[in-house]
Amino acid sequence: MNIAIVGSGYVGLVTGVCLSQIGHKVTCVDVDQEKIKKLRLGKVPIFEPGLEELLKKNLKNKRLSFTTSIREATRKSTAIFIAVGTPSKKNGDADLTYVENVARQIAVNMDGYKLIIEKSTVPAETGKRVARTIKMNLPKKFEKNKKSELDFDVASNPEFLREGSAVHDFMNPDRVVIGVESKKAEKLFREIYKPLNPHMVVTNINSAELIKHASNSFLATKISFINSISQICDKLGADILKVAEGMGFDKRIGRAFLNAGVGYGGSCFPKDVDAFVRISEKSGYDFRLLDEVRKINEEQKASFVRLIEDKLWIVKNKVIGVLGLAFKPDTDDMRSAPSIDIINALQQEGAKIKAYDPVAVPNAKKILKKVTYCKDPYDAAKGCDCLVLLTEWDEFKKLNFKKIGSAMKQPILFDGRNLYHDKNLGDLGFEYYGVGRGVKAGS
Ligand code: UDX
Ligand code: UDX
């Protein structure tokens, strides 16, 4: 099928590249001319394992192309995915300015039937508003034949891919959710996803929109729940890893997303939880549970900082080495990364920060000030009063701790992701602190 993707960010680009890989002819659009230039040359502007290879392959076989023209993409395509950003406003609402703008531009350029699909995460009822915007902006000739409502469908097809494993997640979906209001739209979706043979959940647009917010909020709740338990573990001398293991074997609970740490970050959970609280509020329901979920997430970062401050005693002028800046491994994404709040808090207390991340440094430089960026973990450890691990990159698992320890001024390690829980760092002379491992600040 001829498909357009408007917005070539994390979600749009992965969707476009993967749809071309499974056999469709895809045109990806973006307003950012530099980005489009790079993409045409086969260069992926983000770090996402496996993506560049598929991009190059499908550029070559001409199933994939890039443009800045919504007109060109609309004219060529039957299905058009909207995957532009939906940032948070100050009050937590999703800002849908880009979505509205794109819907209008698609409408004015329509020349026949189109299936217009929301891929960005949007509040319930956005589908209706997109349909209305399109109807109001259709070219005159469609208005005249009074059948304009037959000429397009709006649908919702939320994305569940995780950064760092986005290509794999797209190609192996747990489910594909489609919110449709017509048989024609459903048929087109079935055609689009046929090569993946996924389990399809077919519902109306409002329910599909809700599934996305409900899923992300549930996962964020699971993380805040286990982080709360980690606090109790520290106070009672219990071990969060064993608690999570013991809980996780219960099939009704499951072990996934029960990793305690320094809190969730990224472009989705913080924004989507905020947006869902607002959506609920507007619908007349006070979603108090989610309010707590985000408070617990903030508190988790603050409590980690308190632990560091307590064990270091005096933070002012101490040199702190940070391993990992991205909000999670296998991505260069710094959006709402816990490292930002933690580093800012330590800097406020007068700490000097050295940091290393395998790929996120260029993005980190735009956000974090007065940080000395290092060439590798050993460089980050050199002369440090303590090391703080914030992202559990694979390469950090294989460090030579003898070398790390002897490079440091004093061998204290704060493990914000419990990556080294089985390394017996104590035997190598380290003072070692994890999250929820039974050590409380002040003890
Ligand atoms: C998207 C969705 O916006 C978000 O709601 C969802 O939760 C995750 O997926 P993401 O792909 O991560 O977010 O956003 P980003 O990487 O910022 O990409 C958006 C792209 O759209 C950018 O390349 C931007 O240049 C482009 N864009 C934006 C347009 O092409 N046109 C516009 O009018 C606005
Ligand atoms: C998330 C959803 O998983 C995905 O379905 C949706 O489409 C977009 O949002 P992503 O943000 O890429 O994906 O990453 P994810 O792996 O879900 O992790 C989000 C955050 O939660 C990270 O900061 C991660 O470190 C944290 N996390 C995750 C934990 O703290 N503990 C866990 O057990 C799992």
Instruction: State pLDDT tens for residues 185-237.
Output: 999 999 999 999 999 999 999 999 999 999 999 999 999 999 999 999 999 99
For a substitution probing ligand 2, which of 211, 223, 272, 392 has the most ligand atoms within 8 Å of its CB?
Answer: 223
Residues in contact with ligand 2 (CB, 6 Å cut-off):
159-163, 216, 219, 223, 257-259, 261, 264-266, 268-269, 327-328
Q: Percentages helix, strand, coil for the chain, rounded to the nearest 5?
A: 45, 15, 40
Q: Tell me the CA distances in angstroms from 389 to 240, 243, 342, 369, 386, one per residue in order.
A: 18, 22, 11, 19, 10
Q: Which residues contact 213 (CB under 8 A, 6 or more apart)?
A: 121, 123, 124, 272, 275, 276, 279
pTM: predicted TM-score of the whole model, two decimal places: 0.92
List 18, 28, 233, 268, catalytic entry = 268
Judge whether 21 and 58 are in contact, CB under 8 Å.
yes
Residue 291 to residue 75: CA distance in whole angstroms: 44
Residue 174: how many CB atoms within 10 A of its CB?
10
Closest to 241 in 3D by CA, of 401, 423, 427, 413: 423
In one-letter notation, the amino acid at residue 205 is I
What are the backbone dihedrals phi and psi of residue 305, each rounded to the nearest 5 degrees, phi first?
-65, -40
Q: Where is average pLDDT lowest: 51-60, 273-282, 355-364?
A: 273-282
Specify the residue for token string 């329901």: 285
* pLDDT of 146 above 70: no
- Shortest-distance Cα residue to atom 32 of ligand 1: 98
Specify the residue for token string 């013991």: 246
Judge whether 294 and 301 are in contact, CB under 8 Å.
no
Read off the pLDDT band of 92 (50, 70, 90): confident
* pLDDT of 363 above 70: yes
Q: Which residues contact 128 (CB under 8 A, 6 or more apart)?
A: 205
Q: Residue 173 is encoded by which pair of tokens?
A: 């979906």
β partners of residue 136: none
233 included as an active-site residue: no
CATH class of 237-443: alpha beta
Ligand with the closest atom to the CA of 300: 2
Q: What mean pLDDT do residues 239-250 have?
A: 97
Residue 33: how many CB atoms within 10 A of its CB?
9
Ligand with the closest atom to the CA of 211: 2
- Shortest-distance Cα residue to atom 9 of ligand 2: 268
Q: Tell me the CA distances in angstroms from 301 to 295, 338, 340, one per residue in order.
A: 10, 7, 10
Which one-letter DSSP state was computed for residue 43?
-
Tell me the pLDDT tens digit for each residue of 291-337: 999 999 999 999 999 999 999 999 999 999 999 999 999 999 999 99
Sign for the pseudo-dihedral over CA of 15, 9, 108, 177 = positive
Which one-letter DSSP state was computed for residue 93?
-
**Burial letters for 17-31: b for 16+ Cβ neighbours within 10 Å, e otherwise?**
bbbbbeebbbbbbbe
Judge whether 26 and 67 are in contact, CB under 8 Å.
no
Q: Closest ligand 2 atom to the C-alpha of 272?
A: 9
Q: What mean pLDDT do residues 282-298 have?
A: 96
Burial of 314 (C-beta count, 10 Å sphere; 0-12/13-18/19+): exposed
What are the backbone dihedrals phi and psi of residue 435, each rounded to the nearest 5 degrees, phi first?
-110, 125
Q: Which residues contact 358 (CB under 8 A, 6 or more apart)?
A: 393, 395
Residue 150 pLDDT = 44
Closest to 430 in 3D by CA, of 407, 416, 301: 407
* pLDDT of 443 above 70: no
For a substitution probing ligand 1, which of 46, 84, 328 has the most ligand atoms within 8 Å of its CB?
Answer: 84
For a substitution probing ligand 2, which of 13, 160, 162, 296 has the most ligand atoms within 8 Å of its CB?
Answer: 162
Please state which CATH number belongs to domain 2-203: 3.40.50.720
Q: Where are the beta strands (DSSP E) in 267-328?
A: 319-323
Which residue ranges does the chain devote to CATH 3.40.50.720? 2-203, 237-443
Closest to 111 in 3D by CA, of 139, 143, 130: 139
Residues in contact with ligand 1 (CB, 6 Å cut-off):
6-12, 30-32, 35, 83-86, 98, 101-102, 120-121, 267-268
Read off the pLDDT band of 141 (50, 70, 90): low
Residue 149 to residue 192: CA distance in whole angstroms: 23
Residue 423: how many CB atoms within 10 A of its CB?
16
